Structure 1
């Protein structure tokens, strides 16, 4: 490049490397930050009196070394779990505002109406749409003078009292997508149902898009803790002969209670939770037996809820039985679940579990905490995630993470461990490094219904 440019023989070519440019080179550029502003009107004495050029250079280099980083989230206390009474009150209030709910499910290329008895049942390969109509109370503010005028009119003319204005309403469309469903459902919705709803409720429609286990709390409240997620497609009955296991778990609040189908394996059981096991029979009059398994350390309210969920999930063609841990029959419980294996006898991690995201997407390094209702899909492939389970702090590295993020996240992790050492002396944490796809059991059990990672859309 240098040889291509014509210049006189006496010209000198100087090469500058990035980051080590000389001042003469920098001064040729209009807005170069590092160029020192020199006031040539000042004499040597005034320069010496103040900090001088050396002080200016030092200050600039210090500012450059101090990269902006936001680690505030690491020092905030863990979000306390919501009391059951508070969650129930919130649930009740939201359901009082609900005037009606209609459900639709994607069948082929069209959305079909979902039968009411299937409300609360979702499938990982399907997309659902719920149209909810809410009452919005209208508050009218009137001046005192206007009130007086109305009173005088009423007295003089003897008119009847004015009728109360009708309450306004708002429609919210919740679009729910299973983690194994394609994005075609969303495209179909935006070009068909959404346009239809917008024409029916102009100016009163709000669309909320959600993916599995990342649902809106208000939406969850309408199912009154009976939110069941099945594997596969709604009308596919291929695996109906195979036993199926469901894990009931509450994350941080009773509002975030889900019953999710997991791998039918006894190693997935846990003494602090309740599970539902369906063992089908090849019989016409008796379809099978369903067990509600109650762990010895399970919450009594959750045990009662598990029984209610079992009764709502299965009709009288199934034999239903509630069994406590340690009272499992060989037939058909252990036979149905595969075999008896070792499983976790406590879920202490539920009291400490926190998930942080380390990212530089804002233009600087920042750490943010996910809510207590986090899930596997919150693990961002292009970022670093920190998971605290009370014993270890796992630094989870995605496949598309930059080296800068890894270095900064490691520092953040060390800062967090040091902070927790002073805050929670009884539970010192150890640092563990985890790469995506190589997560140990102590990591995966912090997530409800851990499964294979979602494949990016083609």
Structure 2
């Protein structure tokens, strides 16, 4: 795991057997798994991540959110190894009262149908937006794609499930820009996203990471 060195240097040196801690494990779009210590509180949970709750005497819980990926689950197991913590594995929605009591009680945390969906179930998809035929159309780029597939005379949409990235080519015309920047509801007709998905805009020359 790419974050192994960082995790070993920070987690094992800071925590002692008597400490109580909560650690979040999250994998981003670049397939990098990040391990971050968070507040020991129910508010720190997120349905899209995995968490390790370490309790005194080196026991605790591995909490698996409904949308957590397999890599995040493996990352949580790695954390317990680093902390030498014997943790019971629990799934979101099946938590024992001991778990909530250890967090100071139940509380609101980030959850939604979108967050409860595993990211690997919705791989990134790239679309080209053009009016070269005389009418504005959005077409998916077939197969695997890289940054070389960004057409400078078009507007491109990268549908990353949780977010939509709108990339504006330097030679894209005004119609393509206007139509591509319309409401999320219109864009979502072509994409795999749901209402509430974040839209991000970037232009030619700015960094736009494509991972597939």
**TM-score, normalization by structure 2:** 0.49
Q: Which has the larger radius of gyration?
A: 1
TM-score (norm 1): 0.25
- Of Structure 1 and Structure 2, the greater helix share is in 1
